[in-house]
DNA sequence: CATTAACGATACGGGACGGTTTCGTATCGA
DNA sequence: TCGATACGAAACCGTCCCGTATCGTTAATG
């Protein structure tokens, strides 16, 4: 958010208040257009305004430009994280791996690939991306540590490398359709089992 | 190529022949601009023409538009593949994994991320991408088969999943800088060793 | 009811591009 | 030498977009 209406204890400014519906509609319109295949920079303020049923001025009243609006919209997209049950390390890992690129919001999986170039270009987007995935990495890290504590996993493994091993295959398949012959349904289980076999305590 | 000058046995058309220098310069200019951070659709024919020291008409004489030109330019980018030595399966795998996203042309690694959205949008780009990586997958597949023949690797593993396990971590790190704490130098060795430990014959 | 500010709609100037055409020039084969 | 063709440069037009300004209208406060 880049404006003032957010202060809850504001001394109630006079005049007509900003429409919360408009806020929602604008963000939703932007995400919808992206999910429908529009590129980030093919996306225009005009198109967003038209889709949201809103005047352009209403958008410029809230955000400085396309960049600020998108950063804001993407923040709301991330959705909720999968929560591992804590019973079996293997099951928890399969759950986490299967959740990669599977956000609650179905638009997310279509939008993500569009952001790859941005992540490399803009430090802001890079930070945003890291902020989104950092808690998920932390979740996986904790499950792996639990596996070590339980004696299932060797204690001398490199946690970060292991997480990359679990995440990488799923990510390239979901984002890039890297290998058309791979089955996304069974991939999480296959990945987890193979990696576990490589890092299990003997 | 989308025109006629390419026929080697052509009955030598009259008039001034097309400049090979211009061909080169146009393609190089397009790749340079992409590598410098321009987005695919921020890239304009005008910019390419200016950079190549060429008139726009010269470009339109050869290609139907930006799309055709880019497809053509990317085809020339792929560079040569790493060739495994054939001595040690482990060393060969490390070489192949280390070569992911490391093309001869240094521009390739900067351009690749820009193509991710395109791969999802355009069947042409998807095919192009698959054509580029298919031979590399085949190379890795053969090394893994050798490992099976030598009795190093279990015979019942899923080759495609194994390749995804080897490729994924390296790819997300090189393309996405997925985890800033990972060391790209040592990653190939760590990945190969962990995966090998998971699929080795016992 | 008066005030105040946000609303949707619309118009505007400025700029970027795409694609085409027209220059005068350069380079080939005949 | 001559005709044919490609060349780089420039001009042109139509389209799209941005960012701002200005309508009359609407919704809250007091």
Read off the pLDDT of residues B177-198 as tens digits, 9 standing for 90 and up. Answer: 999 999 999 999 999 999 999 9
The whole-angstrom separation of Cα A88 and Cα A82 is: 15
Domains belonging to chain A, first-starting first, are: 20-76 (1.10.10.60), 80-199 (1.10.357.10)
Nearest residue to nucleotide D16, by CA–C1' distance, is: A44
Nearest residue to nucleotide D19, by CA–C1' distance, is: A60
Q: Give the pLDDT mean for B110-138.
A: 90
Listed in sequence order, the DSSP H helices in chain A are 20-35, 45-52, 56-62, 66-77, 89-98, 107-121, 123-149, 159-176, 187-199
- Percentage above 90 pLDDT, chain B: 59
Q: Give the pLDDT mean for A98-123.
A: 87
- Residue A120 CA to C20 C1' — how many Å? 37
Q: Is the pLDDT of residue B3 over 90?
A: no
CA angle A196, A198, A199 (to 5 degrees): 70
Task: Give the model's pLDDT for residue A12.
Answer: 59
> What are the angstrom distances between the C-alpha of A106 and each of A33, A109, B34, B35, B53?
13, 6, 30, 32, 46
Q: How far is C-alpha B32 from the chain's CA centre? A: 15
Task: Give the model's pLDDT for residue B94.
Answer: 97
A152 contacts chain B (CB < 8 A) = no
A178 contacts chain B (CB < 8 A) = yes
DSSP bridge partners of B191: none
Higher pLDDT, B192 or B71: B192
First to last CA, chain B: 52
The whole-angstrom separation of Cα A39 and Cα A115 is: 9
Contacts of B30 (CB under 8 A, 6+ apart): B43, B48, B69, B70, B73
Cβ A114 vs Cβ B117: under 8 Å: yes
Mutate to test the interface with B, among A138, A165, A170, A186 (most CBs of B within 10 A): A165
Q: How many pairs of residues across A and B have Cβ atoms under 8 Å apart?
A: 156
CA angle B108, B109, B113 (to 5 degrees): 105
Nearest residue to nucleotide D4, by CA–C1' distance, is: B15
Q: How confident is the model at residue B14 (pLDDT cuts 50, 70, 90)?
A: confident
CA angle A178, B160, A162 (to 5 degrees): 80
Q: How confident is the model at residue B12 (pLDDT cuts 50, 70, 90)?
A: low
A191–B116 CB contact, under 8 Å: no
B148 contacts chain A (CB < 8 A) = no
């Amino acid at each position: 958010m880049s404006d003032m209406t957010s202060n809850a204890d504001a001394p109630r400014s006079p005049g007509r208040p900003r429409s919360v519906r408009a806020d929602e509609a604008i963000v939703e319109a932007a995400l919808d257009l992206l999910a429908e295949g529009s590129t980030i920079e093919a996306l225009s303020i005009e198109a967003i305004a038209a889709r949201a049923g809103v005047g352009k001025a209403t958008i410029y009243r809230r955000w400085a430009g396309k960049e600020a609006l998108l950063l804001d919209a993407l923040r709301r997209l991330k959705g909720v994280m999968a929560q591992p049950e804590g019973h079996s390390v293997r099951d928890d890992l399969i759950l986490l791996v299967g959740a990669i690129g599977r956000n609650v919001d179905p638009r997310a999986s279509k939008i993500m690939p569009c952001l790859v170039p941005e992540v490399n270009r803009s430090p802001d987007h890079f930070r945003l991306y890291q902020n989104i995935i950092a808690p998920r990495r932390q979740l996986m890290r904790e499950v792996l540590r639990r596996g070590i504590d339980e004696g299932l996993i060797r204690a001398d493994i490199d946690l970060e490398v292991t997480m990359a091993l679990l995440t990488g295959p799923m990510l390239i398949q979901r984002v890039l359709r890297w290998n058309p012959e791979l089955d996304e349904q069974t991939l999480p289980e296959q990945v987890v089992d193979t990696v576990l076999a490589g890092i299990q305590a003997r």
